[in-house]
Structure 1
Amino acid sequence: MPDLRRARLAIAAAFLTQGLVFISLTTRLPRIQNRWDLDELALSGVLLMMVLLAGVGSLVAERLAPRLDSAVVLRVGLVVVAAAVAVVVLAPVSPVFVLGLAAYGVGLGLVDATGNMQAVALEHRLGRVVLPSCHGAWTLGGVIGALVTLGTADVPWSAVALVALLPLAAAAAPYLPRDHGEAATSTETDVPWRAIVMIGLALVAFYTVDTAAATWGPVYLDDVFAAPEELVALATLPYLVASGLVRLAGDRLTKQVGAVRLLRAGAAVAFVALAIVVAAPSWPVAVLGFTLLGCGVAVVAPLSFSAAAALASRDADPATRQARVDAVVARFNQFNYAGALLGAVMTGAVGSGSLRIGFAVPLVLVVALFWLARAFAPADEVPAGAS
């Protein structure tokens, strides 16, 4: 048990680092736009490239994790993220900036996939839901990143490269090793992909909403309301705080209420929140909408991975269970990037004339969560010892 506690702290540190780095970059998008003279369509293009390469990184993780162990691939991903952030910030010319952003996309996919593999393995060894609090660590990192952005608005741009030190430190953490008795080869046998796809569609809806808020929220306040530049990160910060608080309580809420009812209640809150964002007469009202949005959608992603992993491990032979779950988690992570494409690219493209219209994209998609919530019953059935 002490080893599991150390591993849980390490996994939480990986999630926290990923959230901090990602939000540190997205809350500085208006500054990046100005630095490289990017309009909304150009920014959508580079974000599209990053998201597609994150999908590639997730697929690479699927191939490497059964051979090298997800802990090893997670460390590699964190090192890639560290190097890429330094290149993005210190790039002297735009091609180098684009190259750094491409590398960051690959590292993002590696860390996303293997971080969730680690969390799922921990969840199964403990025999209870812990993914909401793991994702809560990501959100806490995002809160820290947004606060740092607010507090360092006047620092030289090159100083932002110091963020790269954090993933380097996280790469040395004691992650959860694979049980030596388990086979290190993946399997496709009897994986219930149809049921997993239903859960994946909910993950698409969530990441459409989440990426739209994180990526375009600051730009929305800047463009539509001409909010003070030093305050545009407020589009992200209250959203993350609200999301983090719900996620940190999510383990207990899921146990008490059940995943299906919890998700449907959250979907109702998210719909109202996005309606407020779209119709907001001023930037403080838009910030209120983003805050409510964080409360509504917080547990969708962690419960998605819990439910998909529970389905993947059901009726699996102990010798192949972890390999199967790792493969499913990495493949399932692609739904993350499908949602990110809609959130980051479609919101910007549809909203190229006005981001009010752009935020109608997640507003429409969040309605699907009411129907898709019924697929989440397996999130209440995490088996003990299914590492």
Structure 2
Amino acid sequence: MDISRARVATAAGFLSQGVILLSLTTRLPDFQDRWGLSDVTLSLLLLMMILLAGVGSVSAEGLARRTDSALLLRVGLVTVAVGVPVLCTAPAAAVFVLGLAVYGFGLGMVDASTNMQAVAIEHRYGRPILPSFHGAWTLGGVIGAAVTLVTSDLPLEAGAALGVIPLLVACAPFLPRDHGPTELATRVAVPWRPILLVGTAMVLFYMVDTAVQTWGPLFVDHTFTTPERYVALPALCYLLASGTVRLAGDAVVARFGPVPVLRAGAVVGAGALAIVVFSPTWQVAVLGFSILGAGVAVVAPLSFSAAARIAGGEGFAPAVRQARVDAVIARFNQFNYLGALLGSVLTGLVGKDSLRIGFAVPMVLVLGILPLAPAFAPRILPTRVSAPRPSASGSGS
């Protein structure tokens, strides 16, 4: 199979996920008004969606042992295509919750399987390309937030048209597994300790990322007298800055290495959130969100790359390696939802009286990436070879 076609198809999967998620989250104020939801109730609904996304990701992990990630990705995309129209056109609150639940489950399957595809393709290329895949997700988010800006006067039901996007992407030529399912990969011990360190950094990133996408529009809407047309700007500007850095991230990481890039990003991210927390106007808050996007952009793609590298190990046959990586990436994706839980639910609950206080939580916690950065450094693993016999000349082979 042409690997470049699979790369484009997988990038389209990331892009579609970004388009839909940001189209929905930037209209949360409208959903909140339609169904009369308090910030606490909204937080609980987001908790439900995140938990179901986790279930979807766990399901992908179990199914990855028996089938390939291409099929899982198609199933996840179709599930999203069903959930989005239901929650956008819901005639009653109960139907809205049902649609949100279906979407959440599909979200988890797509998240896990797109990253399975991405790390498999990166391995084929033999160089870092995960940042550009996540850049495609960010580009999709920019498109989704921009759509909200230009269609803010349209009814929520118009969002049902978004369901067409994942249906189209589901027909793309994803990378098939070039071997049958194998149980050997599940019987080989995976070094979870270094993976947990990398995963903790990803939790901190998604805590920040989800807080911005979920509560950024509500922050400028509730804290300032922001014109309704501009409430999507925090997420849009955050994603524009993040996407720019991600698209250049392959080269930046190759030149400087992941450790200094992550440390610099953590410091920039904390400073940017301080700008948001203490912002005197909505324009300054938007500036802070923009700087934040640039600072933390590459944490997620570097996390998946590092986890895949550790899971793949050395000396495994390609079939075993890919099965190991698929299973680990699906489980590793759970860190995404733990971070999303902290970002969407904790930020909302802590900030129920003032979202300034809510955003102070990630402002402090994002600095936790600093001590975790060394876990991302590539390690040269010793190759198991037989000890050479001393030669007559005294030199080894």
TM (norm. structure 2) is 0.94
* 1:93 equivalent in structure 2: 92
Instruction: Give, in angstroms, the shift of residue 91 of structure 1.
Output: 0.7
Q: Tell me the distance in 2 between the aligned counterparts of 1:147 and 1:185.
A: 46
Is the contact made by 2:145 and 2:236 (CA closer than 8 Å) also made in structure 1? yes
* 2:373 equivalent in structure 1: 373
Q: Tell me the distance in 2 between the aligned counterparts of 1:102 and 1:162.
A: 19
* 1:216 equivalent in structure 2: 215
* 1:244 equivalent in structure 2: 243
Q: Tell me the distance in 1 between the aligned counterparts of 2:25 and 2:127.
A: 33
SS in 1 for 2:347: helix
SS in 2 for 1:236: helix
* 2:59 equivalent in structure 1: 60
Instruction: Give, in angstroms, the shift of residue 230 of structure 1.
Output: 1.0
Structure-to-structure mapping, 1:99-248, within 5 angstroms: 99-180=98-179, 183=182, 186-248=185-247
SS in 2 for 1:281: coil
Instruction: Give, in angstroms, the shift of residue 294 of structure 1.
Output: 0.2
Change (3 A) 1:166 1:46: same
Is the contact made by 2:276 and 2:288 (CA closer than 8 Å) also made in structure 1? yes
Residue 170 of structure 1 aligns with an amino acid whose one-letter code is V
Structure-to-structure mapping, 1:289-328, within 5 angstroms: 289-315=288-314, 317-318=316-317, 319-328=319-328
Residue 201 of structure 1 aligns with an amino acid whose one-letter code is T
Is the contact made by 1:66 and 1:185 (CA closer than 8 Å) also made in structure 2? no
Identity %: 62
Instruction: Give, in angstroms, the shift of residue 288 of structure 1.
Output: 0.3
Instruction: Give, in angstroms, the shift of residue 156 of structure 1.
Output: 2.3
Q: Tell me the distance in 2 between the aligned counterparts of 1:102 and 1:370.
A: 35
Deviations 1:217-249 (A, max 9, x none): 000000001211111000100100000000001
Q: Tell me the distance in 2 between the aligned counterparts of 1:316 and 1:328.
A: 17
Q: Tell me the distance in 2 between the aligned counterparts of 1:200 and 1:379.
A: 17
Structure label with greater radius of gyration: 2
Residue 324 of structure 2 aligns with an amino acid whose one-letter code is R
Change (3 A) 1:162 1:184: farther
Question: Bigger CA drift: 336-345 or 189-198?
Answer: 189-198
SS in 1 for 2:65: helix
SS in 2 for 1:275: helix
* 1:280 equivalent in structure 2: 279
Tell me whether 1:352 sits opposite 2:345 in the alignment: no
Is the contact made by 1:254 and 1:380 (CA closer than 8 Å) also made in structure 2? no
* 1:385 equivalent in structure 2: none
Structure-to-structure mapping, 1:40-51, within 5 angstroms: 40-51=39-50
Is the contact made by 1:80 and 1:104 (CA closer than 8 Å) also made in structure 2? yes
SS in 2 for 1:128: coil
Instruction: Give, in angstroms, the shift of residue 188 of structure 1.
Output: 4.6
Q: Tell me the distance in 1 between the aligned counterparts of 2:226 and 2:6.
A: 42
Instruction: Give, in angstroms, the shift of residue 179 of structure 1.
Output: 1.4
Is the contact made by 2:67 and 2:181 (CA closer than 8 Å) also made in structure 1? no
Tell me whether 1:341 sits opposite 2:366 in the alignment: no
Deviations 1:102-136 (A, max 9, x none): 11110000000000000000000111111000000
The 4+ residue runs of structure 1 with deviation greater than 6 A are none
Instruction: Give, in angstroms, the shift of residue 380 of structure 1.
Output: 9.9
SS in 1 for 2:2: helix
Residue 274 of structure 1 aligns with an amino acid whose one-letter code is L
Tell me whether 1:262 sits opposite 2:290 in the alignment: no
Question: Bigger CA drift: 82-91 or 173-182?
Answer: 173-182
Q: Tell me the distance in 1 between the aligned counterparts of 2:335 and 2:60.
A: 15
Q: Tell me the distance in 2 between the aligned counterparts of 1:37 and 1:230.
A: 20
Is the contact made by 2:65 and 2:181 (CA closer than 8 Å) also made in structure 1? no
Instruction: Give, in angstroms, the shift of residue 67 of structure 1.
Output: 1.2
Instruction: Give, in angstroms, the shift of residue 187 of structure 1.
Output: 1.3
Instruction: Give, in angstroms, the shift of residue 181 of structure 1.
Output: 6.5
* 2:29 equivalent in structure 1: 30
Is the contact made by 1:255 and 1:380 (CA closer than 8 Å) also made in structure 2? no
Change (3 A) 1:134 1:223: same
Change (3 A) 1:224 1:380: farther
Deviations 1:56-93 (A, max 9, x none): 00000001122121000100000000100000001110
Instruction: Give, in angstroms, the shift of residue 98 of structure 1.
Output: 0.4
Q: Tell me the distance in 2 between the aligned counterparts of 1:323 and 1:299.
A: 25
TM (norm. structure 1) is 0.96
Residue 306 of structure 1 aligns with an amino acid whose one-letter code is S
Equivalenced residues, count: 380
Residue 328 of structure 2 aligns with an amino acid whose one-letter code is V
Q: Tell me the distance in 1 between the aligned counterparts of 2:68 and 2:176.
A: 7
Is the contact made by 2:266 and 2:367 (CA closer than 8 Å) also made in structure 1? yes
Deviations 1:161-187 (A, max 9, x none): 101110110100000011126736641
Q: Tell me the distance in 1 between the aligned counterparts of 2:31 and 2:174.
A: 34
Q: Tell me the distance in 2 between the aligned counterparts of 1:179 and 1:379.
A: 27
Is the contact made by 2:66 and 2:181 (CA closer than 8 Å) also made in structure 1? no
SS in 1 for 2:121: helix
Q: Tell me the distance in 1 between the aligned counterparts of 2:67 and 2:183.
A: 8
Instruction: Give, in angstroms, the shift of residue 190 of structure 1.
Output: 2.5
Q: Tell me the distance in 2 between the aligned counterparts of 1:169 and 1:179.
A: 24
Q: CA RMSD in A?
A: 1.4
